[in-house]
Amino acid sequence: MSINTDLTPPTADLAGVTHEVLVQRARDLTELVRSQADESEERGYYSEQLHEEFLAAGFYHILTPKKYGGLELGLDTFAEVMVEIGRGDPSTAWCLGLGLGHTLTLASYWPEQAQAELFGNPRGYFRAPHRLVPEGTAEKVDGGWVVEGTWHYNSGIQYSSHFKGTARTVVDGKPAQIVVVVPTEQVEILPNWGGDQILGMRASGSNSVRVDKVLIPEHWAVNMDWRVGDRTDIAPGAALHGNAMYCGKIRTPFMVELASTVVGAAQAAIDEYGSMLRIKKTPPPRSLPRFQDTNHQRDFGLALSLADSSKHLLLAAARGYMDGVARWGAGIEEFDDLADSRLRAVTIEAGKLACDAVESIWRTGGSSQAAKGDRMQRYFRDVSMWRQHMGTQYMNQAPGLAQAYFGILESSTAQGLAHQAARAAAQPGGGTA
């Protein structure tokens, strides 16, 4: 798959950029994103024009540490920006957000030398999808690691500076897992996403990548020891950057990446449904504008309450995460696995409510929504993809949450992670974060 890697997009003007400025910039771009949704779906990822707009707006720098020229804003800023982009097109938000969110883990766990090199790459920004399932290998050699394999579901890879993937290796004679970072120029992006190849999230850029024995520096890889139950200390990035956002707790941020897309889809569906109710009439003999009909008012009111609830819940979870890690960093209260797991569960509920909103409109909006090219058809397809993603399976997540609550998480962590990895390998999009 050929991607233009020689783009010279405008440098983001980050002077005076705040949460409010970024959210307004995202709102200002909503209609442009929406107008390109059909072609983005067919292409499999958003256009170079949108790439340049997103970069110029500062979106690629939301979570980047100030030490490396970023904005170092919070998870709440990230979430609200992605919701507004998702209001234009949910799969464009997926492509954008899942390429950006893993800035947090890079800034949390990679050593300072690696961060300086990776954030300081020639593109002027760092973004990388991360395939959690270890589908490739890394061999330790003189000078670093030789990385090889094919990793699936690398959302947003087209405009990413790097690829991140979990790899199998051997350490001290024992099987182990590490996370490797490879420049995008040294991976092959396979043409297996977009158009009719997939049901929904067609513009998410979730292509597979192939890495053919690429040598990376030793310090560009870290142990995959930052999942739930693996460690209780604050990641070194918090001290390096003087910001507890880089504490290394990943459950809530990973789910915010996913949920913000469908929360945006719910807002988009409300926009579309509201427009339709103003234009269409009820069947004869009454032939009222539908927005004046009690039945349609009920349907719209219920969908609106679900959509708005999902947005408020998502943003509350993101703010709760920022508050929790700040208190941990200040030595007031530990932000442990239970706290992270509870906020992740709240975020999943936000996504569920958003999907409920879209699906309620799908049921009541009429058969014309099912036509090819109709926006509601797209939103329905997109939330259907979210519903079946491994990370959103709340029935599977609930036992782990209860185990954390009752203090028995440690004994079940290995079994739970193995079960999740097995499910991820079998599900489309599974293990993508």
Which residues make Cβ contacts (< 8 Å) with residue 287, sequence separation at least 6? 281
| Mean pLDDT of the 157-174 span | 96
- Which is more confident, 6 or 68? 68
Give residue-wise pLDDT tens across range 257-272.
999 999 999 999 999 9
Which phi and psi angles does 322 have, rounded to 5°?
A: -60, -40
What pLDDT score does 421 carry? 47
Give residue-wise pLDDT tens across range 382-400.
999 999 998 899 998 899 8
- What sign does the CA torsion over 324, 330, 334, 335 have? positive
Same fold, 19-107 and 126-225: no
What pLDDT score does 336 carry? 92
d(CA 268, CA 403): 37
What stretch of H or E contains 86? helix 75-88
Burial class (CB in 10 A: 0-12, 13-18, 19+), 16: exposed
Q: Which two tokens stand for residue 417?
A: 């992670």
DSSP string computed for 151-172: EEEETTGGG-SEEEEEEEEEET
CATH of domain 126-225: 2.40.110.10
d(CA 241, CA 1): 37
CB 136 within 8 Å of CB 263: no
Q: What is the separation, in whole angstroms, between the first and last Cα of the chain? A: 22
The CATH number of 245-426 is which of 1.20.140.10, 1.10.760.10, 2.40.50.140, 1.10.3720.10? Answer: 1.20.140.10
Q: How many percent of the chain have pLDDT more than 90?
A: 80
In the predicted model, is pLDDT for residue 189 greater than 50?
yes
Give residue-wise pLDDT tens across range 300-339.
999 999 999 999 999 999 999 999 999 999 999 999 999 9
**Average pLDDT of the chain to the nearest whole number:** 91
Give residue-wise pLDDT tens across range 353-371.
999 999 999 998 888 888 8
Q: List the domain boundaries for the chain.
A: 19-107, 126-225, 245-426
pLDDT-based confidence at residue 424 (cuts at 50, 70, 90): very low
pLDDT-based confidence at residue 426 (cuts at 50, 70, 90): very low
Cα torsion 188, 102, 315, 399 to 10°: value is: 90
Q: How far is CA 275 from CA 60, 132, 170, 291, 305, in A?
A: 32, 40, 58, 9, 17
Q: How far is CA 316 from CA 79, 256, 346, 356, 402, in A?
A: 10, 11, 9, 19, 22
DSSP string computed for 275-331: HHHHH-BPPTTT--BGGGSHHHHHHHHHHHHHHHHHHHHHHHHHHHHHHHHHHHHTT
Give residue-wise pLDDT tens across range 47-102.
999 999 999 999 999 999 999 999 999 999 999 999 999 999 999 999 999 999 99
In the CATH scheme, what is the homologous superfamily, with its name and number, of domain 19-107?
A: Acyl-CoA dehydrogenase/oxidase, N-terminal domain (1.10.540.10)
Q: How far is CA 268 from CA 50, 84, 227, 288, 430, in A?
A: 18, 9, 34, 25, 25
d(CA 342, CA 348): 10
CB 37 within 8 Å of CB 382: no
Q: Which two tokens stand for residue 139?
A: 């061999």
Give the residue from 340, 266, 252, 339 showing the smallest Cα distance to 307.
Answer: 266
